[in-house]
Structure 1
């Protein structure tokens, strides 16, 4: 006769064998971390001739309001250089302004934006996993660390981290990062960016008016994306764009376009493309002293 211990052991073994083993369950994919801090910490990088530095900063703040950080001269690149540098912090978006006193080392000057992240090394690793390439090794700057990555289609961005976390007020309106691509790269870029940024496509118009990019009579694809890094609009066209379309890196939302353009004109800003209405948006393109080109828009119903 079997002992009670063996019976119990056999019963338990049968019970265990009948139950699905926990380790046999399919592994759940790890969540991709979101390294965004907030759109008020994201800046458009504006490179202007040193002689135009002060005029540009003054005109930008006169147009959108806001304040500036203290101006200084720094080495912001990993190789020897010197630039004037200042932030212009406005309710419509922030710009990092550079007026180099030396030649600009490669690959600086091509990055359109700087995005603050919570963990730089992890963010760069994630960007590469999602299809970006590093344009240089991560390097220290006077207040933190930086890297520059390139996304499909040649879209260059800086990712940065500060030793002491800055504290900026939320924006009144969130600006758009305006990306111009052909169909060859658009889907790859959109997939890469939304995967990295936890981005959400809020609109995808595959028959948008070409007039919005200077191509009346044609249709374009217009994709709107939102994430913790702010807003983005991707214009997908044949690339045959008249000047200045494609040179406008950022679009700024304002309550009253006419009033904003009047302030801009008084501050020495040139209107390159007169206001026009596309759907619910009234839009214009301007050029600031020093050459910075931007789009400005408001709700056409206002």
Structure 2
């Protein structure tokens, strides 16, 4: 089982002050499925079990066997466990040693069919490697950065895993200013063979803590799952911008009640904006997540 993934868009570039990179010809789609999109959650190792229990009590699902592994190319040791819920998958890390650079700020891990080809494609679409691809006992991994400083991990298994499809696909929540938004969207959609399903240039800022303001809200779907890009002035109140993933549920009130009973704190009470009800919670160990349902 994967330890570093378990264990680890044309947009109008003239609107951006960043020069458009020279992209290569269209490349293959290396995605496998949204159930293999794992949010990377780093928690203090002494709060590891409490966090995992709280997350499962909130969303349901199962876990892999917990273990202690070296998940980086340099010496380190972390507790690690995969949590598979109907609303999304997370890889949990509780390092027992200092966390080596550049790990700890990658938001997600994406399973790909060919790690070398996927990394080459990402680079041709404007990403840069934060480190070169490295092996692990069951596959290979890389960490890339997209325009705007969006860090992601790409990973490959020697033996492909088999996870059930999700009941609801979570959103990778990206917060950017106009300086980088178009460059990021072009890069990601080109690499991921993604489709922009909505681009609201006058969405309510209430969804991201800026009531009375309008923001650009871009929804993107691909074989890697869902993504929502918020383009704003960047003057975000706590805790917005700290939430990397948004989870879709059928009953927000009931889910928040489960989260509270399991030790999570509601940081932002439900707000109705942009055709959804949305709230933000913080789980034991510090993980901040958005949870929403259709309004």
Same fold (TM over 0.5): yes
Range with greater deviation from structure 2 (72-81 or 136-145):
136-145
Instruction: Provide the residue aligned with 1:42 in structure 2.
Output: 37
Instruction: Provide the residue aligned with 2:27 in structure 1.
Output: 32
Matched residues in 2 for 1:232 and 1:70: separation? 29
- The 3 A distance-change label for structure 1 pair 192 and 31 is closer
Kept after mapping to 1: 8 A contact 2:86/2:168: yes
Instruction: Provide the residue aligned with 2:216 in structure 1.
Output: 221
1:289 equivalent to 2:284? Answer: yes
Instruction: Provide the residue aligned with 1:10 in structure 2.
Output: none
1:99 equivalent to 2:94? Answer: yes
Instruction: Provide the residue aligned with 2:9 in structure 1.
Output: none
1:268 equivalent to 2:267? Answer: no
Instruction: Provide the residue aligned with 1:63 in structure 2.
Output: 58
1:32 deviates by 1.7
Kept after mapping to 1: 8 A contact 2:26/2:190: no
Instruction: Provide the residue aligned with 1:22 in structure 2.
Output: none
Instruction: Provide the residue aligned with 1:146 in structure 2.
Output: 141
Kept after mapping to 2: 8 A contact 1:37/1:116: yes
Matched residues in 1 for 2:76 and 2:29: separation? 33
> Which structure has greater helix proportion?
1
Kept after mapping to 2: 8 A contact 1:282/1:297: yes
TM-score, length basis structure 2: 0.91
Kept after mapping to 2: 8 A contact 1:177/1:251: yes
Question: Which of 108, 111, 114 is residue 113 of structure 1 equivalent to?
Answer: 108
Large movers: runs of 4+ above 4 Å: none
Instruction: Provide the residue aligned with 2:272 in structure 1.
Output: 277
1:81 equivalent to 2:76? Answer: yes
Deviations 1:154-185 (A, max 9, x none): 00000000111000000000000000000000
Instruction: Count matched residues.
Output: 272
1:31 deviates by 4.6
Kept after mapping to 2: 8 A contact 1:144/1:161: yes
Any unmatched runs of 5+ in structure 2?
A: 1-23
Matched residues in 1 for 2:132 and 2:273: separation? 42
Any unmatched runs of 5+ in structure 1?
A: 1-28
Q: Secondary structure at the match of 1:136?
A: strand
Question: Which of 163, 166, 169 is residue 171 of structure 1 equivalent to?
Answer: 166
- The 3 A distance-change label for structure 1 pair 56 and 263 is same
Matched residues in 2 for 1:41 and 1:212: separation? 27
1:279 deviates by 3.1
Instruction: Provide the residue aligned with 1:200 in structure 2.
Output: 195
Matched residues in 2 for 1:58 and 1:236: separation? 34
Kept after mapping to 2: 8 A contact 1:43/1:114: yes
1:30 deviates by 6.1
Matched residues in 1 for 2:217 and 2:254: separation? 27
Q: Secondary structure at the match of 1:248?
A: coil
Matched residues in 1 for 2:151 and 2:26: separation? 25
Instruction: Provide the residue aligned with 1:246 in structure 2.
Output: 241
Question: Which of 173, 182, 185 is residue 180 of structure 2 equivalent to?
Answer: 185
Matched residues in 1 for 2:138 and 2:90: separation? 17
Deviations 1:227-267 (A, max 9, x none): 00000000000101110000000000011001101100000
Matched residues in 1 for 2:237 and 2:256: separation? 22
1:142 deviates by 2.9
1:280 deviates by 2.1
